[in-house]
Amino acid sequence: MIVSAKITGDYTPVPNALLNSTFLDPIAKIIYMFLLSKGKRWIVINSYLAKALGISINTLKRYIQQLIDSGWISRKPRRNPNNGQLLGGYDYFLHNSPQKNPEELVVDNFENDPESYEKSVNFYNAVQPDRQNLTPNIKQNKNNIEKITNINQTQITVDNYSELEINAAKQYTASQPNVKNTDAYTRSVLKNNWHLPILNELLNSERKQRYKIFDTKKGDEAYRGLVKQIKKSALINELIAQQILTPARVIVGNPRKCLAPNYLGFLYWLYLNYPDICKFNTDEPEYLYIQFFTVLNPNKVPPNE
């Protein structure tokens, strides 16, 4: 008899139908749960995933295929959201229940919001920069990566996005003709990343103003000002990523051999967001470095992959 099943703290809800499935291998279930715990827009890198789970890449691929065959995961070729060009790799979608015929992303443009409709947690192996995930998240609530209201519904709201992203999405919506429900359409814009060109324009002026701040040296007055700026600015993390992840500065297979001041900036970002990683895990910084490269360079192959 189970006396207590209450869980508090950092957790992820998992569908009982998956746990009780007699078709799925236990390894497939573990892969699904691991991916689900990462949440929307987590970048899938097979080598990292296999290492984290202690299995070979071939084993990983075999059981991901089992999840696809059983309808718990679907995927489609990754494309440039602006022109539809194939970029290589896949976009993955985790479902809350098995899907026989997973539907493609559609535009929410209802006269009135439907009471409920199927939503799937989706994550990418690199599409476009996720600005929200490049901001400090020390106080971020890790519980319930997406709010799950019932076993077949995941509620995705504009709360998942930064104010600047929402502003860009609203501008995109306003530019489209015959939109019946602006709120629903704006959610679709955010979900499908159609707002990114406008977002880049909004970010451009501030990005240009901040590009040269890492030219200062530690100990200088300008450097001390930079430290204060990092703590206050929501865009500083994007700047760090842009500074250290240009193709000319990336050395494949050994991210630490890039220019020292830029890697120092990256480690400072880790210190702000993942202090435990900096202290105890020597492998994780390389993975996060590759994550940055993949997000900011969607048309290029990640280092060491």
Q: What is the Cα Rg of the chain in Å?
A: 20
Question: How many domains is the chain partitioned into structurally?
Answer: 2
- Three-point CA angle 297, 133, 104, nearest 5°: 70
Q: Which of 139, 157, 175 is the last residue of a domain?
A: 157
Q: 24-77: per-residue pLDDT in tens?
A: 899 999 999 988 887 776 777 777 788 888 888 888 988 998 998 888 888 887
Average pLDDT over residues 292-296: 53
In a domain, 141, yes or no: yes
Same domain, 239 and 141: no
In a domain, 194, yes or no: no
In a domain, 199, yes or no: no
Q: What percent of the chain has pLDDT over 90?
A: 2
In a domain, 264, yes or no: yes
Q: Which pTM value belongs to this model?
A: 0.38
What distance in Å separates the CA atoms of residue 283 and residue 256, rounded to the nearest whole number?
11
In a domain, 171, yes or no: no
Closest CA to 76 of 58, 48, 99, 55: 99
In a domain, 7, yes or no: no
In a domain, 140, yes or no: yes
The domain of 95 spans 16-157
- Non-local (6+) Cβ contacts of 121 within 8 A are 36, 39, 40, 93, 94, 96, 145, 146, 154
Q: 160-205: per-residue pLDDT in tens?
A: 577 777 888 888 888 888 888 888 888 888 888 788 888 777 766 5
Same domain, 145 and 244: no
Q: 107-163: per-residue pLDDT in tens?
A: 444 333 333 333 344 444 433 333 333 333 333 444 443 333 333 333 445 555 777
In a domain, 252, yes or no: yes
